[in-house]
Structure 1
Amino acid sequence: MREVKASVIQCDEIWSFTYAKQKNVHHAKDAPEFAGDTWTWAAIDSDSKLIVSYMVGGRDSGYAIEFMDDLRARLANRVQLTTDGHKAYLEAVERQNLTMRMHMRQFTRLTNGFSKKVENHAYAVALHFMYYNFVRVHQTLKVTPAMEAGLTDRLWDIADLVELIDANEEAPKKRGPYKKRISK
């Protein structure tokens, strides 16, 4: 998504975990590199409710700068940017965090539905935001956020998302010759 026209963007991050909670990672067997705290950064246009940018990663200045650089590259104009601070300013993004908690098992509290790999977590987040932006009709807008933002003029469905995935999937490679194993 590029050249998004917006006037007010709200940004926030939401916590989840991958493989094990951070306090248990050192006890975990064969914990992968990115086990523990996983943060999803999100930027929402408060007028259209469109998720303009998101990123899955850590919660430090490096990730914050990368996230803001990505957001800047997606916008067509300068915006009022609001982050944590005054509760009233973050109404749209905090509501989006609740929507994520309600739609995705990985974000519910006291869950056993956490992602075992950070890649799977990122894929689930990507699917959620595509569904949220293009398929789900927003209750107050009566259209999808993408329609409200002028990115599309029609309501998408799940089949459209599957077509996008299929179009970007690599074609299966031809398998090489079979070599029978000889046991000794």
Structure 2
Amino acid sequence: MCEKPSERVCPTCSSEQVIRNGSVHNGKPKYQCKSCGRQFVINPTNSPVSEETKHLIDRLLLERISLRGIARVTQVSWSWLQDYVNQKLARTPRQVKVSENPRSKLIVECDEMWSFVDSKKNEVYIWLAIDRNTRQVVGCFIGDRTRKSARKFWESLPAIYQHNAIAYTDFWQAYKTVILPNNHRAVGKETGLTNHVERLNNTFRQRVSRLVRESLSFSKKLNNHIGAIWYFIHGYNAELD
């Protein structure tokens, strides 16, 4: 059935100056407004995703639910969700903000957590540092387990932590090359001095589906893997504020 002329109205500016502009994947005709440039379909099959649904998706991304699971729960298309999440992860800041006037002595606990991208042969380590007093993540780098990555990890911490914090780590040699000797404390797990960051590793694996060891929800692209980790970090820190 052909559309009535009155139906060919731009949904953005209400102009009737619209022209035929091809068709969409299901064969429906697509139009373009000559006044504002908006392209649209009359009576589209898929309605726009509401802001309420987007906010729900944002919260679900902080839980151990696969993207396909989120698509089923929120009843959005898989292709739309993938594009939405990719854009959100790309915009996620790769650094935390902290107060420049700490209320107490700065102490951080550091550790590395194994993960992979696309294949278990492609190992990717997540270097984490948390403030012992606030329990918030203050530094993170995702890469290999070399000294170069250790350097980038330490540089991810705010300057006030790099220069003033006492840092407790395991005995991985790379830490010695980046942390000031007077500020570095290499300790074993039996001391309990890195308990908080080790517990955080478990929290990551419990709540980030990409980090579950036996899962089909693993990342296929490094950029998305990095973005997902940082997205969770910002959400986790916000819960502790």
TM-score, L = length of structure 1: 0.63
Which of 188, 207, 211 in structure 2 is aligned with 1:86? 188
Identity of aligned residues (%): 31
Cα separation, 1, equivalents of 2:125 and 2:158: 20
Q: 5+ residue gaps in structure 2?
A: 1-96, 171-186
Q: 1:72 to 1:131 in 2, by over 3 A?
A: closer
Instruction: List, as ranges, runs of 4+ consecutive aligned residues in structure 1 with deviation greater than 6 Å.
Output: none
1:169 aligned partner? none
Please give the root-mean-square deviation of Cα atoms over the aligned residues, in Å: 1.8
By how many angstroms is 1:113 displaced?
A: 1.0
Cα separation, 2, equivalents of 1:76 and 1:40: 18
Cα separation, 2, equivalents of 1:4 and 1:74: 9
By how many angstroms is 1:73 displaced?
A: 2.2
Q: Is the 8 A contact 1:44 1:93 kept in 2?
A: yes
Which of 135, 140, 147 in structure 2 is aligned with 1:49? 135
Which of 113, 116, 124 in structure 2 is aligned with 1:14? 113
Query: Residue 226 of structure 2 aligns to which amino acid in structure 1?
Result: A
Q: Is the 8 A contact 1:4 1:76 kept in 2?
A: no
User: Helix, strand or coil for the counterpart of 1:113?
Assistant: coil
Q: 1:4 to 1:43 in 2, by over 3 A?
A: farther
Which runs of structure 2 are paired with 1:79-158 in the superposition (5 Å)? 79-84=165-170, 85-87=187-189, 88-134=192-238, 136=239, 144=240, 147=241
User: Helix, strand or coil for the counterpart of 2:197?
Assistant: helix
By how many angstroms is 1:108 displaced?
A: 1.1
1:67 matched to 2:67: no
Cα separation, 2, equivalents of 1:13 and 1:53: 12
User: Helix, strand or coil for the counterpart of 2:127?
Assistant: strand
TM-score, L = length of structure 2: 0.48
1:39 matched to 2:125: yes
Cα separation, 1, equivalents of 2:205 and 2:168: 22
Paired positions, count: 124
Cα separation, 2, equivalents of 1:19 and 1:108: 13
By how many angstroms is 1:77 displaced?
A: 5.7
Which range moves more in the overlay, 65-74 or 120-129?
65-74
Q: 1:74 to 1:55 in 2, by over 3 A?
A: farther
Larger radius of gyration: 2
Q: 1:42 to 1:4 in 2, by over 3 A?
A: farther
Query: Residue 69 of structure 1 aligns to which amino acid in structure 2?
Result: E
By how many angstroms is 1:72 displaced?
A: 5.2
Cα separation, 2, equivalents of 1:38 and 1:131: 22
Q: Is the 8 A contact 2:125 2:145 kept in 1?
A: yes
Query: Residue 110 of structure 1 aligns to which amino acid in structure 2?
Result: E
- Report Cα offsets for 1:121-148 as digits up to 9, x if no partner: 01110110011001x2xxxxxxx1xx3x
By how many angstroms is 1:90 displaced?
A: 0.7
